[in-house]
Amino acid sequence: MSEVKSQEWQEVSGEFSKSIRWTQEPSGPWEKENSEFVGEEIHGILDDIRTNIGQNNVNIYEVFTALHGLVSVWDTTVLSDKMKKVMTGEEVKITYNGLQTPKTGGKAYKTFTILHRSPDADLTKVIDGLRTKKTEETSTATEPVEEATEGMKVEDMFPKS
């Protein structure tokens, strides 16, 4: 039987995105706990489009911004139609214009202006620098988990927020 060598643990790097909201005041308890107001404009690189999310099978647009890091923009019908023209890797600017009531009446809906282009070289450098810094910060965990957690209680390993 061959001897099993000890392997070092390496952390999988990555960043959780922040869900954003377009209004200063959250519309309910979930939004208050799980989203952040970042203003009425998001400007960055479209990093990913996650599809078929939740019970309504909506898209989530992951935008890497120089100001806020990675943010998630939940889809709306208006956004979905406009974002079809934006490719991942492009620079995108999403501006929330407020609510609009349909001319025929009915429920008001959110409106947006979407601008996109090939990424600006300066913005790309800033975002690549942020990604590199984040990767360096998260890839330094090399000691085995058993040693790192020796003597710890489960509550210490998984603190409640």
Give tens-digit pLDDT for 79-134: 999 999 999 989 999 999 989 999 898 899 889 999 999 887 777 777 777 666 65
Query: Is the overall model pTM greater than 0.85, yes or no?
Result: no
CA 148 to each of CA 5, 12, 134, 159, 161: distance values in angstroms, whole numbers, following the listed order: 18, 16, 21, 16, 21
**In the predicted model, what is the mean pLDDT of the chain?**
75
Q: Is the pLDDT of residue 14 over 70?
A: no
Domains annotated for the chain, with CATH where assigned, are 18-121 (2.40.50)
pLDDT of residue 93: 94
pLDDT of residue 122: 74
The residues, ordered by sequence, that sit 6+ positions from 27 with a Cβ below 8 Å of its Cβ are: 21
**Look-up of token digits 């959250």:** 26
Contact, 76 vs 83, CB < 8 A? no
pLDDT of residue 87: 92
Q: 16: pLDDT confidence band, cut at 50, 70 and 90?
A: low
Q: How far apart are CA 132 and CA 128, in angstroms?
A: 6
pLDDT per residue over 34-84, tens digit each?
777 788 898 999 989 999 988 888 899 999 888 888 888 888 888 999 999
Q: Is the pLDDT of residue 159 over 50?
A: no
CA 66 to each of CA 92, 119, 126, 139, 158: distance values in angstroms, whole numbers, following the listed order: 12, 13, 6, 21, 30
